[in-house]
Amino acid sequence: MPFTEAEYEYLTTQTIGRLCTLGPGDQPQCRPIVYFVNRELGTIDIGGYNNSDTQKFRNVRRHPRVSLLVDDLASRDPWVVRGVELRGDAEALLDAPPPAEGFGAGVIRIHPRRILSWGMDPNVYGTQSRNVS
Domains contained in the chain, CATH given: 5-131 (2.30.110.10)
The answer, yes or no, to whether residue 18 has pLDDT greater than 90, is yes
Report d(CA 109, CA 38) in Å as an integer.
9
∠ at Cα 101 (65, 106), nearest 5°? 30
Confidence at residue 101, expressed as pLDDT on a 0 to 100 scale: 85
**Helix-then-strand count for the chain, H and E:** 2, 7
Q: Nearest Cα to 93, choosing from 24, 44, 42, 28?
A: 44
Over residues 47-94, the pLDDT tens digits come to 988 899 999 999 999 999 999 999 999 889 988 899 999 999 999 999
d(CA 118, CA 80): 10
- Work out the burial of residue 59: count CB atoms within 10 Å of its CB; fewer than 13 is exposed, 13-18 middle, 19 or more buried: buried
pLDDT score at 102: 82
pLDDT of residue 104: 85
Q: Residue 37 above 90 pLDDT? A: yes
Q: What is the mean pLDDT of residues 43-49?
A: 93
Kindly state the average pLDDT of the residues 120-130. Answer: 90
pLDDT(33) > 90:
yes
Quote the pLDDT of residue 99: 82
Q: Is the pLDDT of residue 9 over 90?
A: yes
Distance of CA 36 to the CA centre of its chain: 8
